[in-house]
Amino acid sequence: MDAKIIRIRKGDDFHCHLRQGDILKKVLPFTTRHFSRAVAMPNTLPAIVTGDDAVRYREEIMAACDNGFRPIMSIMLTKNTTPQIIREAAAKGVTVLKYIPKGVSTNSDESVSLEDLPDFYPVLQAVQEYRMVFSGHWESLYDTDGDELPEIKREEAAIPFLKRLVRQFSGLKIVVEHASTYRMIEYVKQCPANVAATLTIHHAILSYDDVCNESGEVYSPHHYCKPIAKSYFDKRAVIAAMVSGNPKFFFGSDSAPHIASAKQKKQPAAGIFSKPVALSLLARMFQGCGTREGLENFYSKFGADHYGLPYNKDTISLVPEEWTVPQDYNGFVPLLAGMTLHWKVVD
């Protein structure tokens, strides 16, 4: 890779929490500067659950940006979702049905449990019919005996439920969000072409020990997210998938900013504000592997291919220049705050 400059096609973020209101206005520029499109996650408060909700949210996002950014709209799967809601949402330009199992992550209390997901297969049939994407957070709160699982084991425990879904729907575009374990990544590799996964930069640089102490208590709240960072072995699997050139894996930041006070509570809000550093860290990773094409494929092409979208025409550049990550961006603490990075995005 040219040591002087990296210039690639501008990318897409296929898992992004843009928030609402004043927070949206503060954090949106970190997405619009580095990405032409992003899937706007709908587990807001209140959640985006209908096509009309998505239209209003799209208008709010567009009113806060002025550089041609295009949000990819989604709605939540809840216990009240019907095939008719899917049809109406598709007609209003919604592309994604988002799934978080009930109680697993932020604002999912009205969602559907993994055990009850088959009851909503008629809804997913409509998603398949209208060529939408089913994008899911695959974690199980409980083991097969009904006992609560530690966070580090929840992703692997959800794989059997995902397998059942994949067997049922051969034509449904499925995205496994933020795959963070070796077992999940290996499963996605073996799946048919309609199944893909997003990977985050924080699961590629953090391990469980960077988040929790030996007692399982969170000691580094700004590293806490769901799914939680896993073992060193799992982290290496995420990196290997990123740089593999396998089109099943593409970028989804899961950048989820919370105000500093929410992160510093005894039970911190789940989410890492990774967007300010994501592209710089990806450049370092792919530069180390010696492949400019690999970075552009992972960041700019593979996700667009899975979603059936045209490639973006604009480009973005990085230069090998040291910069220090600020400790704070308007009340939000970014990933690696205070650390020096070696690739910098330039306009």
- Does position 289 have pLDDT exceeding 50, yes or no? yes
Give the pLDDT score at 288: 80
**pLDDT of 241 strictly over 80:** yes
Inter-residue contact 78 to 108 (CB < 8 Å): no
Q: What is the per-residue pLDDT for 210? A: 97
3 state DSSP class of 89: helix
Query: Catalytic residues, which ones?
Result: 254
- pLDDT of the residue at 3: 60
Mean pLDDT across the chain, nearest whole number? Answer: 95
141 SS3 class: coil
Q: What are the structure tokens assigned to 278, written together?
A: 């994501």
Number of H helices, E strands in the chain: 12, 13
Contacts of 24 (CB under 8 A, 6+ apart): 18, 60, 61, 64
What are the sequence ranges of the domains in the chain?
Answer: 6-346
Q: Indicate if the pLDDT at residue 184 is higher than 60.
A: yes
Q: Quickly state the pLDDT bin for 108 (edges 50, 70, 90).
A: confident
Q: Tokens for 65? A: 């940006």
161: pLDDT strictly greater than 90: yes
- Cβ-proximal residues to 77 (8 Å cutoff; 6+ apart), any chain: 97, 98, 99, 111, 112, 120, 123
* Residues 229 and 180: beta-carbon distance below 8 Å: yes
Specify the fold of 6-346: TIM Barrel (3.20.20)
3-class DSSP state of 93: coil
How many CA atoms within 13 Å lie on the side-chain side of 346?
12
pLDDT digits (tens, 9 = 90+) for 28-83: 999 999 999 999 999 999 999 999 999 999 999 999 997 889 999 999 999 999 99
Distance CA(294)–CA(312), nearest Å, equals 16
Pick the range with the lowest mean pLDDT from 81-95, 100-114, 266-280: 100-114
Is the pLDDT at 2 greater than 60? The verdict is no
Q: Looking at residues 174-197, what average pLDDT do you find?
A: 98
Q: What percentage of the chain reaches a pLDDT higher than 90?
A: 91
The pair of structure tokens assigned to 12 is: 């897409």
The residues with which 133 forms a beta bridge, in sequence order, are 96, 173
- 251 with 13: CB under 8 angstroms? yes
Share of the chain above pLDDT 70, in %: 98
| Residues 135-141, mean pLDDT to the nearest whole number | 97
Q: Does 239 have pLDDT greater than 50?
A: yes
Q: Could you read off the pLDDT of 202-227 as tens digits, one per residue?
A: 999 999 999 999 999 999 999 999 99
Amino acid at 285: M
Confidence tier at 140 by pLDDT (50, 70, 90)? very high
**pLDDT reported for residue 1:** 44
- The alpha carbon of 317 is separated from its chain's Cα centroid by a whole number of angstroms, namely 23
Specify the range with the lowest mean pLDDT, choosing from 254-263, 275-284, 285-294, 337-346: 285-294
Per the listing, tokens 């592209």 go with 279
Question: Which residues are CB-contacts of 231 (< 8 A; sequence separation ≥ 6)?
Answer: 152, 207, 208
Tell me: pLDDT of 155 over 70: yes
